[in-house]
Amino acid sequence: MLFERIVVGAYAANCYILADEETKEAMVIDPGSEADRIYRKIEAKELTVKYIVLTHGHGDHIGGVEQLKKLTSAKVLIHHDDAELIESAELNLTVNMSGPVAFKADETIGDDKTLEVGKHKCQIIHTPGHTKGGICLYFKEEKILFAGDTLFYGSIGRTDLYGGNHKQMISMIKEKLMELPDDVTVYPGHGASTTIGFERKKNPFL
Ligand SMILES: [Zn+2]
Ligand SMILES: [Zn+2]
């Protein structure tokens, strides 16, 4: 699988590009800003972006969506319960960031949906707590989890914003993520990657 991490915007959000090396079919996770820079990587590798998947609806993860969609014609996906965030600049907090952003998803998705790019498959895991419709994307074969702002290296996402719920966050991480094998690499929405095994042992919030 082709894999690229690009750190974008004032909040240093991680945008990920994943693609099948043969078919060149790709998915972009969280184009939070700097759509031009993300698109240059896509062009350089001659990828066809099938999906733009949003781990949740906060401004630092969605700022580049509209422009990247124009450039790629990819389908924008978000969990049902975070659709209201991307449709409201107040709720997605962009009114307080670099300027209001509001748009509609092409499709809303739920728990256990499977997405495919070429031969690579990922399962959607609904992990509310940071927002109501936060998701993780789990590539079982590749042993990779994209965790959005749910689980970070040695930390967890904040739960004091609209739709946040600390109790729910902890139980989602314990029930749905800590069940995964130790050697699954976790790529969060900000900062360095980690593993399920490391977080199970060392994360002070769990
Ligand atoms: Zn967030
Ligand atoms: Zn974030």
- 23 alpha carbon to ligand 2 midpoint, in Å? 31
Q: Which helix (H) or strand (E) holds 29?
A: strand 25-29
- 56 alpha carbon to ligand 1 midpoint, in Å? 7
> Which ligand has the shortest distance to the CA of 58?
1
> Which ligand has the shortest distance to the CA of 93?
1
Domain ranges of the chain: 2-202
Per-residue tokens: 63? 């700022």
- 22 alpha carbon to ligand 2 midpoint, in Å? 32
> Which ligand has the shortest distance to the CA of 13?
2
What integer pLDDT is reported at residue 85 of this predicted model? Answer: 98
Which spans in the chain are helix H? 35-44, 59-62, 65-72, 83-86, 166-172, 196-202
Write down the residue that tokens 């699954």 correspond to. 184
What integer pLDDT is reported at residue 2 of this predicted model? Answer: 96
- 172 alpha carbon to ligand 1 midpoint, in Å? 16
**Statement: residue 54 has pLDDT above 90:** yes
- 90 alpha carbon to ligand 1 midpoint, in Å? 14
- 58 alpha carbon to ligand 2 midpoint, in Å? 7
**Statement: residue 98 has pLDDT above 90:** no
- 149 alpha carbon to ligand 1 midpoint, in Å? 5
Nearest partner of 137 among 42, 56, 33, 64, judged by Cα: 56
- 190 alpha carbon to ligand 2 midpoint, in Å? 6
Percent of the chain whose pLDDT exceeds 70? 100
Radius of gyration of the chain (CA): 16
- 149 alpha carbon to ligand 2 midpoint, in Å? 5
- 64 alpha carbon to ligand 2 midpoint, in Å? 14
The mean pLDDT of 71-94, rounded to a whole number, is 98
For the chain, the average pLDDT equals 97
Nearest partner of 77 among 109, 46, 45, judged by Cα: 109
Domain 2-202 homologous superfamily, CATH: Ribonuclease Z/Hydroxyacylglutathione hydrolase-like (3.60.15.10)
Percent of the chain whose pLDDT exceeds 90? 98
Alpha carbons 17 and 114: distance in angstroms, whole number: 17
The mean pLDDT of 85-97, rounded to a whole number, is 96
- 99 alpha carbon to ligand 1 midpoint, in Å? 17
